[in-house]
Amino acid sequence: MNEAWIGPVVAHLGRGLLVTLWISLLSVVVATVVGIAVGSLATSPKPALRAVVRGYVTLFRGIPSLLILLCVFFALPQIGLATGPLTASVIGLGLWGSANIAEAARGALFSISPHQGEAARALGMSARATLRDVLLPQAARRFLPPYIGQLTVLIHASALTSVVGVSDILGSARQMIERLAYMGPDSHAILIYGMVLAVFFAICYPLTLLADYAERRLRV
């Protein structure tokens, strides 16, 4: 068996891995910022605002991530926003992830006794100060384990971006497999997908451990 294919394939997968990490990082940032903001709004005293939050979370959690990705990729140019596959992927994954993170944030906030908020308000604290100094710090401990879990899910979902043409690690793997298929009768699919699998596992397994640790450590 000729082993010469391995070098170029690994190099190509390496470039794909960088794209995967970059997309994961950007969508994690988008999902975290939007998710925490939206989740915090769920504690608003205004019913209309809470309804908007509920709608947002329900909508994006109710749609497959792949569908959101395709919609963003094909819909944004329609309204005049020319975006490349990478930007579309970050927006799509970010929106999808933000709904899950918002739900985790909302759950964490609501797990704090309403008496805590009452005690803060009784001191004369504003709604914002109550959230910032009393509710959020306590909710953060309960938020962290499910949040880390969501990061894993988001990193997994980044593999979907190859569908809209991003050369992430999975897209690169498929390109390599197809190219090698022209060159000879041997199929390298199992080996190459095996490498991708190992890479995803190597990234996500420590995160899973971290989530478990956080859950044990921060149990309130």
Partner 1 sequence: MTSTASDPIVSVRKLHKSFDKLEVLKGIDLDVRRGEVVVVLGPSGSGKSTMLRCINFLETFQSGTITVDGRPVGYEAGDHRRPLGEARNAKVREHVGMVFQSYNLFPHRTVIENVMMGPVKVKKVARALAREKGMALLAKVGMDHKADAYPGQLSGGQQQRVAIARSLAMEPSVMLFDEVTSALDPELVGEVLKVMRGLAQEGMTMIVVTHEMGFARQVADRVVFMDGGVIVEEGAPGDIMAAPKTERFGNFLSRNLDQ
> Given the rule CB under 8 A, which of 15-23, 122-130, 147-155, 156-164 is the region that contacts partner 1?
122-130
Q: How far apart are CA 36 and CA 33, in angstroms?
A: 6
The set of residues, in sequence order, having a beta carbon less than 8 Å from that of 115 and lying 6+ positions away, is: none
Q: How far apart are CA 165 and CA 188, in angstroms?
A: 22
Q: How far apart are CA 191 and CA 184, in angstroms?
A: 15
Nearest approach in angstroms of CB 113 to partner 1 is 8
Q: How far apart are CA 167 and CA 122, in angstroms?
A: 55
Q: Is 118 in the site for partner 1 (CB under 8 A)?
A: yes
Among 122, 182, 185, 219, binds partner 1 (CB under 8 A): 122
Nearest approach in angstroms of CB 215 to partner 1 is 18
Q: Is 133 in the site for partner 1 (CB under 8 A)?
A: yes
Q: Judging by beta carbons within 10 Å of its beta carbon (0-12, 13-18, 19+), is residue 153 exposed, middle or buried? A: middle
Q: Is 47 in the site for partner 1 (CB under 8 A)?
A: no
Residues 131, 134, 135: CA angle, nearest 5 degrees: 55
> Given the rule CB under 8 A, which of 19-27, 28-36, 96-104, 130-138 is the region that contacts partner 1?
130-138
Q: How far apart are CA 185 and CA 206, in angstroms?
A: 38
Q: Is 116 in the site for partner 1 (CB under 8 A)?
A: yes
The count of residues interacting with partner 1 (CB under 8 A) is 20
Nearest approach in angstroms of CB 120 to partner 1 is 8
Comparison of 114 and 165: residue with beta carbon closer to partner 1: 114
Phi, psi of 80 (to 5 degrees): 85, 10
> Strand, coil or helix: what is 43?
coil
Comparison of 5 and 147: residue with beta carbon closer to partner 1: 147
Q: Between residue 137 and residue 196, which ones bind partner 1 under the rule CB under 8 A?
A: 137-138
Nearest approach in angstroms of CB 219 to partner 1 is 13
Residues interacting with partner 1, by CB under 8 A?
45, 113, 115-116, 118-127, 129, 133-134, 137-138, 220
